């Protein structure tokens, strides 16, 4: 690996002078703030939020055991995904490499930024072909997007393969670990400081139960985090998100309990699913969902909709022919799904 962030950045981003907000120029304690054209009434919502999210970040630093200068907080993981494109990929010229099937947002962000996507199929059991991924890289490839555990397949990708890609590529490698709280031992976060080109995405939307708050994380070496921070909207996280996020992060024990219940429910769901005659295969999963191959996926999907149960029809996706993706719900919700399946046979 020969990673030179300055060569990799788009020229306009390299030369960009970031917006300097009132709260950047003075952030200490004072009695009277007349610097940001805020309304003096309607406290506390009248004040702009901390653009650097200092308090929330120090809590994330404590939970993740990662230094604050290696943390970017965004409006969901979607924000750092888009910012990475805007920082590194020249529209109409550059490309990214990713795997197929995977999370749909990489493609949407690429299309939004007019960036081509070179997709490398996963192998038959949804495993990572690291050599094929590296072989898909061209001189215009700036980022490789990988997702582990992968959505919609559910399996974590092989860490040796991921590390070969990280060390074998001179651009940025993004590993999206949105589901890593369900298999924490597989995270690459403890190795972050060994790889200057590695970006790890995590989120509070899944195991932490905060999808509605929109709070995502990117972890990387300081030069990459600095770039993301320079080009983000100055006030990308509202006061509400920062305050409520901080409050909920005090509940780490609760999150651990939820994960324990969800994993137990997942095992039960897998055991039940394998007994139904319309199920062809339940794929192994490291996440809070299972991919299930069935006879007549459209018919089963529609039957469940009529029963007021919504799962995700993934049957039109490459390598997922015949598959439904089922999120693990509460014990009651999962029991409702199994009752519906019982009446189907
Ligand atoms: C759910 C999910 C996310 C989370 O996105 P947020 O914007 O943080 O809610 C990210 N990546 C993948 C692969 C996901 O499935």
- Does residue 71 have a pLDDT over 90? yes
User: What's the 213 CA to ligand 1 centre distance in angstroms?
Assistant: 13
**Residue whose CA lies nearest to ligand 1 atom number 11:** 178
Domain boundaries in the chain?
Answer: 5-250, 253-342
Q: Are 277 and 300 in contact (CB under 8 A)?
A: no
Among 146, 176, 178, 290, the mutation site with the greatest number of ligand 1 atoms within 8 A of its Cβ is 178
Matching residue, tokens 């005090």: 250
pLDDT 10s digits, 262-321: 999 999 999 999 999 999 999 999 999 999 999 999 999 999 999 999 999 999 999 999
From start to end of the chain, where are the E strands?
71-74, 95-100, 116-121, 141-147, 172-176, 198-203, 216-219, 279-282, 289-294, 312-313, 323-327
pLDDT of residue 24: 83
CATH annotation of 5-250? 3.40.640.10
User: What's the 77 CA to ligand 1 centre distance in angstroms?
Assistant: 6
H/E stretch holding 334: helix 331-344
User: What's the 190 CA to ligand 1 centre distance in angstroms?
Assistant: 21
pLDDT of residue 22: 84
Which of helix, strand or coil describes residue 199?
A: strand
- Ligand 1 atom closest to the Cα of residue 78 is 7
Helix 78-88 vs helix 105-112: crossing angle, to nearest 10: 40
**Residue whose CA lies nearest to ligand 1 atom number 2:** 178
Question: In which band, very low, low, confident or very high, does the pLDDT at 163 lie, cut at 50, 70 and 90?
Answer: very high
Burial 18-57 (b: 16+ CB within 10 A, else e): eeebbbeeeeeeeeeeeeeeeeeeeeeeeebbbbbbeebb
pLDDT of residue 306: 98
User: What's the 76 CA to ligand 1 centre distance in angstroms?
Assistant: 7
Q: Does domain 253-342 have CATH number 3.90.1150.10?
A: yes
- Ligand 1 atom closest to the Cα of residue 216 is 8
- Ligand 1 atom closest to the Cα of residue 206 is 1
User: What's the 46 CA to ligand 1 centre distance in angstroms?
Assistant: 31
- Ligand 1 atom closest to the Cα of residue 203 is 8
Task: Tell me the percentage of the chain whose pLDDT exceeds 70.
Answer: 100
Among 175, 206, 208, the mutation site with the greatest number of ligand 1 atoms within 8 A of its Cβ is 206
Ligand 1 lining (C-beta closer than 6 Å) = 76-78, 103, 147, 151, 176, 178, 203, 205-206, 211, 216
pTM of structure: 0.97
- Ligand 1 atom closest to the Cα of residue 214 is 9
pLDDT 10s digits, 81-129: 999 999 999 999 999 999 999 999 999 999 999 999 999 999 989 999 9
Tell me what the pLDDT averaged over the chain comes to.
97
pLDDT 10s digits, 212-221: 999 999 999 9
pLDDT of residue 21: 86
User: What's the 154 CA to ligand 1 centre distance in angstroms?
Assistant: 13
**Residue whose CA lies nearest to ligand 1 atom number 3:** 178
- Does residue 203 have a pLDDT over 90? yes
Which of helix, strand or coil describes residue 68?
A: helix
User: What's the 203 CA to ligand 1 centre distance in angstroms?
Assistant: 7
């Amino acid at each position: 690996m020969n990673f030179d962030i300055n060569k990799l950045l788009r020229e306009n981003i390299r030369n960009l002078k970031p917006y300097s907000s009132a709260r950047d120029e003075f952030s200490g304690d004072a009695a009277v703030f007349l610097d940001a054209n805020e309304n003096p009434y309607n406290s506390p919502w009248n004040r702009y939020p901390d653009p650097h999210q200092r308090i929330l970040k120090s809590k994330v630093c404590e939970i993740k055991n990662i230094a604050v200068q290696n943390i970017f907080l965004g409006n969901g993981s979607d924000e750092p995904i888009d910012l990475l494109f805007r920082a590194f990929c020249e529209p109409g010229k550059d490309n990214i490499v990713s795997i197929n099937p995977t999370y749909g947002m990489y493609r949407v962000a690429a299309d939004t930024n007019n960036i081509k996507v070179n997709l490398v199929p996963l192998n038959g059991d949804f495993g990572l072909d690291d050599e094929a991924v590296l072989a898909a890289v061209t001189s215009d490839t700036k980022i490789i997007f990988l997702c582990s555990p992968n959505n919609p397949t559910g399996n974590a990708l092989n860490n040796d393969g991921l590390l070969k890609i990280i060390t074998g590529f001179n651009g940025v490698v993004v590993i999206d670990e949105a589901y890593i709280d369900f298999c924490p031992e597989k995270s690459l976060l403890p190795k972050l400081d060994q790889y200057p080109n590695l970006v790890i995405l995590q989120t509070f939307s899944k195991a932490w139960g905060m999808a509605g708050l929109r709070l995502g994380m990117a972890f990387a070496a300081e030069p990459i985090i600095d770039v993301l921070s320079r080009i983000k909207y100055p006030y990308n996280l509202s006061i509400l998100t920062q305050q409520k996020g901080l409050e909920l992060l005090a509940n780490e024990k609760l999150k651990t309990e939820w994960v324990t219940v969800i994993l137990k429910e997942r095992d039960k769901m897998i055991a039940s699913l394998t007994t139904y005659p319309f199920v062809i295969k339940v794929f192994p999963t490291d996440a809070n969902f299972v991919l299930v191959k069935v006879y007549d996926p459209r018919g089963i999907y529609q039957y469940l909709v009529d029963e007021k149960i919504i799962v995700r029809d993934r049957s039109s996706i490459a390598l997922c022919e015949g598959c439904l993706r089922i999120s693990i719900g509460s014990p009651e919700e999962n029991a409702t799904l199994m009752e519906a399946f019982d009446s189907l046979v």
